[in-house]
Structure 1
């Protein structure tokens, strides 16, 4: 039985990935700080459900606490580490940037140190579409330069990519960074747009729509995302030999076993169409506050997912209307609305 260490296992994506891998027969060791950035009860419930599996074990600790993280990692002896834990939220990074230094920079370094010492077969680390920053050439492709982050959150994630590349090169540590594009679905975070929109529409309270609705996002359903991560586990990058050509469209580093992969629906959806889908599922119209563009935000994201398809034969494909329906159904059930 193979073992995977998942940081952020009580989080939105971590829970879904752990569930998928447990169903596939993995032993899953979870590590999560259970911070109060949002409702801790939601995180505890996710861990509780995972705890129903014989081969799941949960550990509570902060990424910055190297001694605790290191002890869990050494005891687990994982073949694979999937690092999902982070201080999330583009907007919160405007209010509390230090939290991002602690979790996203120091924390990521601690995870990489554990991976280096253990010599794992594959280190997989979450990045974000936010690293594309001020880029306007879409769809976003992994080999584009990403030197213009617009938020501190994005800057820390871009730093993670650079840090991970250096470790991959120095220690021959196979590393894949995956860039997420607007993930949504059941058990999502309360600070995410779909969650806030659904709550507002069902409660009859106004929702804020930025850039007066002229926003486009590559909405990616969480089940599609974790399936892609699961398939990428068995695609560890290999350091190329001198003169090797990684192939057109491949982001494989020329000097390290390191690759960046977009995980997105390869489509962009107008925000107001997304809102209309939520309205349809909730059975009522939204009260809308049309707002100007928020500081640090971007008008559009759109993933080129061809590299993911080339590596795994798979690409996310859930239609946003189907995904919204699944989320609203979960929301009504969980909150008894």
Structure 2
């Protein structure tokens, strides 16, 4: 059995936004990526290389906030996939640190921000409730569990999924010459964390040998939609950017941001990417993608 920082890394969901960003930062024969076309669990069997792995990052999911509201069957499938994997690890006598990427923006609920890891989870949306259930599955069945509650991650490579990824949607709208859509009040506040900062935290976690059941990863500050809009206008050079206002959606909450002091204290990690530089890098990536 292997635990701690002396083995390889497995990324389950290696084709997704966060999983692929983590995969790009890792090199060598001890890095193993699993996707839909190369599943980590096939007919109840695990790949032999998992015996050399000390950290598994579970970055796979079929749902986002909108899908979770509309497709409870996919929420149940996500839970079943994680539970089946953890049981297979136990059956094979393997005990890597298993890192679940959860949602720092939805599991804590509507009130009390900034949220620390000790804040009670009171999710107000189907997505938040789904993430809390996955966290419980991990805590109940993983030999060495760590939940990473990620704030609103953004950056190069982020897709514009339904109901998620405001910057991905806004920047694509700017690139196409369309108005950006704002749901709810411009005072709605979120914690936006650059994908490279999330990856840095995960790499620190892989090297960490002690127990760490839950850790927040975010920018540690609140940014309103109005402030974010100002950054987008500045970075894209569109001061007269048109805005289309829509009512708030049922799964939106007024304000969420994270206290990231534990990650700083235990992992020696802190967010290093300013919002403007992170948005600029995302805009440059998108512009290059459109040009190809």
**TM-score normalised by L of structure 1:** 0.78
Give the C-alpha shift of residue 195 in structure 1: 1.2
**Residues 68 and 31 (structure 1 numbering): CA distance in 2 closer, same or farther, change over 3 Å?**
farther
Moved over 6 A (4+): none
Aligned pair 1:204/2:180, yes or no? no
* Corresponding residue to 1:180 among 139, 144, 150: 150
Tell me which residue corresponds to 1:295. Answer: 250
1:50-72 C-alpha deviation (Å, 9 max, x unpaired): xxxxxxxxx523x7xx4357333
Partner of 2:244, secondary structure, is strand
Partner of 2:68, secondary structure, is helix
Between Structure 1 and Structure 2, how many residues are aligned? 280
Are 2:175 and 2:287, in contact at CA under 8 Å, matched by a contact in 1? no
Aligned pair 1:319/2:289, yes or no? no
User: Structure 2: any 5+ residue segments left out of the alignment?
Assistant: 1-5
**Residues 149 and 302 (structure 1 numbering): CA distance in 2 closer, same or farther, change over 3 Å?**
same
Aligned pair 1:215/2:188, yes or no? yes
**Residues 142 and 269 (structure 1 numbering): CA distance in 2 closer, same or farther, change over 3 Å?**
same
Cα distance between partner residues in 1 of 2:218 and 2:89: 27
Cα distance between partner residues in 2 of 1:200 and 1:320: 19
**TM-score normalised by L of structure 2:** 0.89
Partner of 2:258, secondary structure, is coil
Tell me which residue corresponds to 1:167. Answer: 141
Aligned pair 1:155/2:129, yes or no? yes
Are 2:46 and 2:88, in contact at CA under 8 Å, matched by a contact in 1? no
Aligned pair 1:124/2:99, yes or no? yes
* Corresponding residue to 2:23 among 18, 32, 35: 18
Cα distance between partner residues in 2 of 1:29 and 1:297: 36
**Residues 68 and 81 (structure 1 numbering): CA distance in 2 closer, same or farther, change over 3 Å?**
farther
Tell me which residue corresponds to 2:38. Answer: 60
**Residues 311 and 114 (structure 1 numbering): CA distance in 2 closer, same or farther, change over 3 Å?**
farther
Cα distance between partner residues in 1 of 2:208 and 2:63: 26
Give the C-alpha shift of residue 236 in structure 1: 4.2
Aligned pair 1:274/2:228, yes or no? yes
User: Structure 1: any 5+ residue segments left out of the alignment?
Assistant: 34-58, 239-257
